[in-house]
Amino acid sequence: MATAEEVKKLAALARIKISDEELETFTREFDAILAYVGQLEKLDLPQGAEHEKPALHNVMREDGEPHATGIYTEKLVEQFPAREGNALSVKQIITHDEPE
């Protein structure tokens, strides 16, 4: 069963913040949902069935004629929260400064 600690860790992994109040609700609901999907454990599956390749698999398209460069650029760049010319502007992550 899920603990509040576990739910907190999952939230961090999923890049989501959860308030303390929500944490309690989420943990409780998680327990109910996991108890329900836990029925799967009762299911008798043929030996090794869990490791069979699923029927669906990824299909890659052959590289073909590309579209002309830049025809979608402006439309896409318009959606950026911040831009510098046609580049997406984000926070600096790597610095050359010595750590404090």
Neighbouring C-beta atoms of residue 33, cutoff 10 Å: 11
94 binds another protein (CB under 8 A): no
Nearer to another protein, 41 or 100 (CB): 41
Range 22-81, binding another protein (CB under 8 A): 22, 26, 29-30, 32-34, 36-41, 43, 45-46, 49-52, 54-56, 58-61, 72, 75-76, 78-81
Q: Where are the alpha helices (DSSP H) in the chain?
A: 4-13, 20-37, 73-78
Calpha distance 17→11 (Å, rounded): 6
DSSP H or E segment with residue 14: none
Q: How far is the CB of 89 from another protein (least distance, A)?
A: 10
- Cα distances (angstroms) measured from residue 58 to each of 51, 52, 61: 17, 15, 10
Residues of this chain that interact with another protein (CB under 8 A) are 2, 6-7, 10-11, 13-18, 22, 26, 29-30, 32-34, 36-41, 43, 45-46, 49-52, 54-56, 58-61, 72, 75-76, 78-82, 88, 90-91, 93
